[in-house]
Amino acid sequence: MTSIVEPRKAMCAVNGIYAYHRSAPDADPAEAESTRDAMQRRGPDGCGLWQSPDQRLVLGHRRLSIIDLSDAGSQPMLSLCGRYVLCFNGEIYNYRTLRDELEAEGEQFRSSSDTEVLLRLLQRYGSKALPRLRGMFALAFWDQQSHELLLARDRFGIKPLYVADDGWHLRFASQVKALLNSGAIPCEPDPAGQAGFLLTGSIPEPFTLYRGVRALPAGHFQRCGPAGPSAPVPFKPAPEVGGSAGPDALKSALEDSVRAHLVADVPVGVFLSAGIDSAVLAALASRQNPELEALTVGFAEYRNSERDEVTLARQIAGRLGLRHRVSYYAKAQFESDLPQVLQAMDQPSIDGLNTWIVAGAAAEAGWKTALSGLGADELFAGYPSFLEVPRWHRRASWAGWVPGLGSLLRTMLRPLCAVLGLSPKAAGMLEYGRSIGGAYLLKRGLFMPWELPALMGRSAAREGLKRLSLVRRMNQQALLGSNPPAAVSALEQGFYLKNQLLRDADWAGMNHSLEIRVPYVDTTLQQLAGGARFSKIDLLQTAADLLPQTLFERPKTGFTTPLDQWRGHPGAGWARHWAQELQCRF
């Protein structure tokens, strides 16, 4: 493999402690070091620790060297004047444009890293700089003069950041388990996080499994000064990109995003399944890097079935002229890996095992960076939910005109579902289908709200559901779409992609010291193609001349694992059984 070489920085982990209350003990560097080193697999190539002169703040950093392998990009990074300090996890893809603008304004740089560009940008503009960033990031920015800490997270939530406030200290880190490792944060369970997991298979932000730990929401920043932390605030997106929104513009935007995501000082590979998303990604990337290597994972249980990814992936790789690596994963290996999977899984997720497996295969191949097709389904209407959720809503919306009808029918029909062998969701069709958000929960949900008392206790379920307010939040998210497909796209991106797929890519990849990049989850591409403006056919056409005809004829299956067979629960109910197993193990 080769890559487009352009020096910049490294992926990593960040953490810190700020003793903001005037009566609080000073920030403990030993605690910060312990938290930092609990994230060693996120950054095995180096580490840093910085404490403010007044001992009130400690920042920690671990480094996975991807770009600018020298010490020039080491962190925490101090400004030349000594007033500002930055601790940063991520990549800023438009950093060169931003650097040119800053140099035109008189700034001079001492390194080629995007960390320094980000540091200078925040010096000048503070939180107003955040909408200008194209990339993935979680950052902590300290102003030594005002004693104010700024925390921020990228628009899509590609990079995680968790915060704990005990009224004296503000602690933050890239992992929940790292924060808990210090012993300074109580492990009291949060019913809202537990309920969210049982309902959706992941934990909707800002909740976690613990009352004392919250996720900084995607696309938000939070300030903390001597008066304490303020509430997280969303930063506005960058202005819409003008010009054409046709097929040529889509292709150009995709190529631009892929080009940005290929920049590295180490080899970059691509995950290749038998689906459209990864095939198009591989095709566009191979145009820019002819020596690109692809990786496909196969399972013995899927051989000679429609779920087998290997045969068509080999055809795609052959057509593109890619070096192709195939790795097989077996049940025995899963049983051996399971303790490590559960340890690495920062928060429970029913959908992370596939990413863990492919990330492990990439690490065994010596990769440190890989391109993934995550995000394409949400952007290009690739799920059945884009058709089913609006249809269910249309059929059930009339029930909203009769108060209490849906709830009454659900109570009456619930016992019949078990007798008739129907899904528990069937009982709630009229109660939940009357809104887009409720219909989406019916489609995506694992368990339904009325099932939770039996799983987590009546009192905890009542509290968790009340604080979670999931249907209300889903209906609010749906309002971001101007039509039913756009509403479903907003829901898929705001819940499934953000809380599950991207989070899984982070913990599974980082545990193997692998940076997983997601070119479909890009601000510029989102501005052009967001709201389900384009279909999977439009996506496929951007690289149709490079791909085999077989790809056009294959039905969508998605990259799945034989977990249902491995755990002894074949059929549609396997995810519910797996969720209950994870619930017991966390």
pLDDT of residue 5: 36
**Contact (CB, 8 A) for 219 and 157:** yes
CA distance 171 to 164: 5
Q: Nearest 10 degrees: CA dihedral of 142, 145, 147, 153?
A: -30
Instruction: Enumerate the β-bridge partners of residue 263.
Output: 4
**pLDDT at 71 exceeding the cut of 60:** yes
- Write down all domains in the chain, each with its CATH number in brackets: 10-234 (3.60.20.10), 247-381+488-585 (3.40.50.620), 386-481 (no CATH)
Query: Among the ranges 153-162, 395-404, 573-582, which has the highest mean pLDDT value?
Result: 153-162
CA distance 163 to 464: 20
**pLDDT at 216 exceeding the cut of 50:** yes
Task: Summarize pLDDT for 160-176 with one digit per residue, the tens.
Answer: 999 999 999 999 999 99
Region 300-314: mean pLDDT is: 87
What confidence category does residue 431 fall into, taking pLDDT thresholds of 50, 70 and 90? confident
pLDDT of residue 22: 95
Least confident piece of the model among 165-179, 345-359, 487-501, 569-583: 569-583
**pLDDT at 184 exceeding the cut of 70:** yes
Write out the DSSP string of 259-324: HHHTB-SS-EEEE--SSHHHHHHHHHHHHH-TT-EEEEEEEGGGTTSTT--HHHHHHHHHHHT-EE
CA distance 521 to 374: 7
Tokens of 489: 């796209």
Residue owning tokens 């300090």: 85
Least confident piece of the model among 205-209, 402-406, 520-524: 402-406
Region 330-346: mean pLDDT is: 94
pLDDT of residue 239: 64
Least confident piece of the model among 68-72, 351-355, 394-398, 533-537: 68-72
pLDDT of residue 6: 38
What confidence category does residue 65 fall into, taking pLDDT thresholds of 50, 70 and 90? low
What confidence category does residue 402 fall into, taking pLDDT thresholds of 50, 70 and 90? confident
pLDDT of residue 68: 53
pLDDT of residue 583: 92
**Contact (CB, 8 A) for 134 and 91:** no
**pLDDT at 333 exceeding the cut of 80:** yes
Average confidence score pLDDT of the chain: 90
- What is the end-to-end Cα distance of the chain in Å, rounded? 39
pLDDT of residue 2: 36
Q: What kind and span of H or E run contains 47?
A: strand 46-51
What confidence category does residue 1 fall into, taking pLDDT thresholds of 50, 70 and 90? very low
pLDDT of residue 238: 66
Q: Is the pTM of the predicted complex or chain greater than 0.85? A: yes
Region 332-359: mean pLDDT is: 94
**pLDDT at 195 exceeding the cut of 90:** yes
pLDDT of residue 473: 97
**pLDDT at 542 exceeding the cut of 90:** yes
CA distance 535 to 529: 9
Q: Is pLDDT larger for residue 456 or for residue 426?
A: 456
pLDDT of residue 478: 96
Specify the 3-state DSSP secondary structure of 183. Answer: coil
pLDDT of residue 240: 61
Least confident piece of the model among 82-96, 312-326, 479-493, 568-582: 568-582
pLDDT of residue 8: 41
Region 518-533: mean pLDDT is: 91
